[in-house]
Amino acid sequence: MSNADIYHEMIIDYSRNPLNFGQIENPDVTFHDSNPLCGDSIDIDMNIKENKISDIKFHGRGCAICMACSSVLTEITKGKDIDEVKKITKNDVLSELGLENLQAVRIKCALLSLKVLKYALYSYLAKHMSETGDVDKLKEEAANLY
């Protein structure tokens, strides 16, 4: 089985049985966004304790790539501290599923959840920090992710 086949199976598997799928009751932060081209949408809920992502879940609907990347992203994020989460890049997500050379038209599918995560973190930090200069970079990054 080639690497491409393995990644393809992982994407199908994550899309059928997504990890961290669901909602958190009364989350510390929640954010929603959608892909206007297809109407698919993702919500991310997080709880944050002592600067760490103590819990994270996503829900919504999306194509197989969108669901698989949301699964992978939430797995990468869970338990990490905020400073580490701020540094998660698109390649961190894409490389987990062998999607580094994804066509431009599908990149939004793969990165919708990362965009939602960055905005969620931005909105949490903007509310809880008095110094927002660094935090504003996060918002800018989310806005220009694809």
Q: Tokens 């959608």 label which residue?
A: 34
- Per rule CB under 6 A, is residue 66 in the interface with ligand FES? yes
* Per CB under 6 A, 109 contacts ligand FES: yes
Residue 59 binds to ligand FES (criterion: CB under 6 A):
no
- Which of the ranges 34-42, 77-85, 94-102, 119-127 carries the binding residues for ligand FES, by CB under 6 A? 34-42
Which of 30, 52, 59, 63 lies at the binding interface for ligand FES (CB under 6 A)? 63
State which residue, 36 or 133, has the beta carbon closest to ligand FES. 36
Residue 20 as a binder of ligand FES (CB under 6 A): the answer is no
Which residue matches tokens 């580094």?
100
Only one of the segments 1-9, 32-40, 50-58, 88-96 lies at the binding site for ligand FES (rule: CB under 6 A); that segment is: 32-40
For the bound state, the minimum distance from the C-beta of residue 83 to ligand FES, rounded and expressed in Å, comes to: 29
CB of 102 to ligand FES, least distance (A): 11
Q: Is 38 in the site for ligand FES (CB under 6 A)?
A: yes
Burial of 26 (0-12, 13-18, 19+ CB in 10 A): exposed
Nearer to ligand FES, 63 or 88 (CB): 63
- Helix H, strand E, coil C: the string for the chain is CCHHHHHHHHHHHHHHCCCCECCCCCCCEEEEEECCCCCCEEEEEEEEECCEEEEEEEEEECCHHHHHHHHHHHHHHCCCEHHHHHCCCHHHHHHHCCCCCCCHHHHHHHHHHHHHHHHHHHHHHHHHCCCCHHHHHHHHHHHCCC
Q: How far, in Å, CA of 82 to CA of 62, rounded?
A: 26
Q: Can you give the binding site for ligand FES, defined by CB under 6 A?
A: 35, 38, 40, 62-63, 65-66, 109, 112
